[in-house]
Amino acid sequence: MDSDETDVVVIGAGHNALVAAAYLAKAGLAVTVLEAREVIGGGTVTEELTAPGFRHDTFSSGHPWLVTNPLFAADELGLFRNGLSYVGNDPVLVVPFRDGESVTIWRDRRRTAAGIERFSRRDAAAWLELYEDWGTLAPAHLARAARAPGETLPPIAPEAETRYAALLAKSCWDVVHERFESDHVRGALLWFGMVAVQPIDRAGTGLLPLLVPVTWSEFGWLNVVGGSLRLAESLAAAVTAHGGRIVTGARVSRIPVENGRAAGAVTEDGRYVRARRAVVSSMHFTALPRVVAARLPEPFLAGVEAWRAGPSLFVVHLALAANPKVRARVGSMAAVLAGQATVAGIGQQLRNVAEGRLTWSEPWLFSACSSWIDPTRAPEGRGTLKVITYAPYALDGDPARWDAVKADYADFLLKEYAGTIAAGFRPGDELARHVASPLDIERTNASYFRGAAQGGEMVPDQMGLNRPVTGWANYRMPVAGLYQTGTSAHPGGPVSGWPGRLAARAVLEDLNIDWQRVMPGAATRAPVHVPVIDTSAF
């Protein structure tokens, strides 16, 4: 067995793994990153899935949650000084309806409220109240996301804490129905809840109708210029600039344990990379019992068995002759994000997914045309499109059924997209398509456990001190020297970089290295500038 040695082995080259690797390399540690695929990026990978020259974000595209992290806000790792750039969009979202109506969400809250007012004056006022309420509650939320579970929180007004807890205890579905009365407006707010890829009819999702639309109003959906892979490439450059190594095509099959401590990683081809100081895994934590060469504690194993993955996704990528416009109340308009979202359709889809069935009537749809604001993603004058919906992982109880039905379901979704959302697009107009079922998503990247996007349900019993398992929530796993990052670690799913930054901090603390020297926060530099493109002018 071939072997070499390093201070830290990082398993995976998704954005959180690379964030952790970059901070650890910056701290002066020798770091080796082992990535299973031939390409880096994990959930932030960009590939020519359909046709040459059409660059599609295979998984994540929008990164609005990244702005809270000092690696973005203060450029702690020098990513923006080395060429990384983002672009935003306005309007944020357009939701057309079959009756010819539409709800348009603008970055300007008052402009949005003016449009909502034709449905309901009460709803227009309720929209503005979302911003006021989130302004009060955001410090409580960010304090939790930016700190390890159990870490002492900064002083927060008792009233804000009480209101935060009360809202968190509710479901997104209930909050939307309590605050808004028009089904059109309710549909648009439920769309924002669904985009978090959570069971929005369950308690614990009540923050979403405030958190998502208000947070997104700063920059819109926030895309990387050149595709999500540019974030991964910039992070990889930060790793190698500090002497780290990144090895692709190196799927880890075993984490050896010597003298009770994680000793490195063995790849499928027999290479053994020894770790003198630590092993940081971005595998989904449910894989650890299979790869760690030691019996893990029974409570941890019980947590693995009880883990709820959350909703899985079905995705269709298209190469198009031109960027598609979307239907609006008056004519059509260019928009990066558009969706189908009816109260009845979403309610039925949530029930269908829970029962393992497909939705054939008014499914929730997320459509994204990033090439409106980033023309580098397609040949000149052409466009890319992503259409997403919720779908069960075990279709009628069997994930293998997807291979037989995914083409037909993609046809159906494109008919829905053409019938409700798109202006001037008909199924078959695309130049090429690529379809990914929940099973395909998991096959491509096993970290998307059961085809789910967020690493697991992000509700109280799977968050904070319970993520991934109660007793092992601070990135330190049951074997000494083994640390967890990625979407199944706190604070979870979206591209935020927090699991990577906080996991690196845990390693540095345990090695008695001053993490504040490596992560200086706001002292680093001024905030990053992000241009926002008004697509409605196109």
Indicate whether 122 pLDDT > 60: yes
Spatial distance between the Cα atoms of 476 and 398, rounded to a whole number of angstroms = 34
Rounded to the nearest 5 degrees, what angle is found at the Cα of 528, between the Cα atoms of 523 and 534? 155
pLDDT, mean of residues 414-428: 96
Tokens of 458: 């992000």
d(CA 405, CA 382): 29
Q: Three-state DSSP class for 317?
A: strand
What local confidence, expressed as pLDDT, does residue 81 receive?
85
Question: Is the whole model's pTM more than 0.85, yes or no?
Answer: yes
Confidence at 525, pLDDT banded by 50, 70, 90: low
- The domains of the chain, with CATH numbers, are 3-84+225-307+453-523 (3.50.50.60)
- Which residues have CB under 8 Å from 57's CB, separation 6+? 44, 45, 46, 227, 228, 229, 370, 386
Sheet of 93-96, strands arranged across: 102-105, 93-96, 337-340, 365-368, 383-391, 312-320, 432-436
pLDDT at 76: 94
What pLDDT does 493 receive? 87
State the average pLDDT over residues 375-380: 98
What is the distance between the alpha carbons of residues 411 and 227, in angstroms, rounded to a whole number? 26
pLDDT of amino acid 451: 96
pLDDT (tens digit per residue) in 452-482: 999 999 999 999 999 999 999 999 999 999 9
Q: Quick one: pLDDT band at residue 521, thresholds 50, 70, 90?
A: confident
- Give the confidence band of 3 by pLDDT, cuts at 50, 70, 90: low
Residue 10: other Cβ atoms inside 10 A: 37
In angstroms, how far is CA 262 from the centroid of its own chain? 29
* Cα-based distances in Å from 319 to 58, 177, 261, 382: 13, 38, 49, 8
Confidence category of residue 401, pLDDT binned at 50, 70, 90: very high
pLDDT for position 378: 98
- Report the pLDDT averaged over residues 154-164: 90
Longest dimension (CA), the chain: 71
Tens digit of each residue's pLDDT (9 = 90 or more) over 341-368: 999 999 999 999 999 999 999 999 999 9
User: Quick one: pLDDT at residue 190?
Assistant: 98
Q: Answer yes or no: is pLDDT of 373 > 60.
A: yes
Confidence at residue 155, expressed as pLDDT on a 0 to 100 scale: 86
CA–CA separation, 286 and 417 (whole Å): 35
The 10 Å Cβ neighbour count of residue 269 is 11
DSSP state of 528: P
Q: What percent of the chain is predicted at pLDDT more than 90? A: 94
**Terminal C-alpha separation, the chain:** 59
Among the listed residues 229, 223, 196, 227, the one whose alpha carbon sits nearest the alpha carbon of residue 210:
196
Secondary structure element (H or E) that encloses residue 354, with its range: helix 343-354
Q: For residue range 175-194, what is the model confidence (pLDDT) as tens digits?
A: 999 999 999 999 999 999 99
Q: Is the pLDDT of residue 167 over 70?
A: yes
Residue 156 pLDDT class (50, 70, 90 cuts): confident
Per-residue confidence band for 153, with pLDDT thresholds at 50, 70 and 90:
confident
pLDDT of residue 394: 97
Residue 1 has pLDDT above 70, yes or no: no
3-state secondary structure 383-418: EEEEEEEEECCCHHHCHHHHHHHHHHHHHHHHHHHH
For residue 523, pLDDT beyond 80 = no
Cα distance between residue 467 and residue 489, in whole Å: 6
67 secondary structure, DSSP code = G
**pLDDT of 382 above 70:** yes
Q: What is the mean pLDDT of the chain?
A: 96
Residues 130, 136, 141, 146, Cα dihedral to 10° = 130
